Amino acid sequence: MHDIEPHFAWLGFYSACEDPRSPFFEREYSEFYFEHSVYNYLIHPQWDHFGSNTLYLKVLFADYQDGFAILEFIGEWNDALYNDIMTLKREVLEILMEEGIKRFVIIGENILNFHSSDDSYYEEWFQDVDLDGWIALVNFRDHVMDEMRSAGIDYYLNFGGELDDIEWRKMGPRELYGKVESLMSKRLEA
């Protein structure tokens, strides 16, 4: 797992540690010191710790004028033991939403498992993004989406269908957002 790095091809467009509006502003990274782990496997030090014991992320891109952010995750999303959604909401999402972010593209191909608790923080996040916002999950594993459906949070988060097969690494951040926005517009109009 230590070889899995956050997507770095967009660093020329955006870097969360250089963004004064980001929750990770002025964070310093090491290429050599590995301190965080998932399942006792060290993860690459470029992933951002936000307070969870098992889930890490990277804000790959944020556009405050257009109101969207792209976040990539790695690890185990565990609401049952660690209430990861509460920590994520308080430590990252609320900071971005206070800066005008209402549309979230969440990349989850490196999320290994999901363990649910209640849906109250998902409902709160859904309400916070208001009528013109949305939360889209891209390229999540089938068993993770099955767990999310079983927990009933698919009412608040959009996933499945064409969102599962986006070759986002071949795109720029605005191109990915445009693709997801198009898919979301179709879903919301239906």
**pLDDT (tens digit per residue) in 51-85:** 999 999 999 999 999 999 999 999 999 999 999 99
Cα dihedral 119/137/100/152 (nearest 10): -20
- What is the SS3 string spanning 47-103? CECCCCCCEEEEEEEEECCCCEEEEEEEEEEEHHHHCHHHHHHHHHHHHHHHCCCCE
Q: Report d(CA 4, CA 110) in Å as an integer.
A: 9
Is-contact 119 112, C-beta < 8 A? Answer: no
146's CB contacts (< 8 A; 6+ apart) are none
Give the per-residue pLDDT at 190.
62
Helix (H, G, I), strand (E, B) or coil at 107: strand
Q: What would the CATH number be for the domain defined by 63-189?
A: 3.30.750.24
91-132: pLDDT as tens digits: 999 999 999 999 999 999 999 999 999 999 999 999 999 889
pTM: 0.96
Q: Ramachandran region of residue 37, left (φ > 0), alpha (ψ -120 to 50) or beta? A: beta
> Alpha-carbon Rg of the chain, whole angstroms?
15
Percent of the chain having pLDDT more than 70?
99
Q: Report d(CA 77, CA 81) in Å as an integer.
A: 10
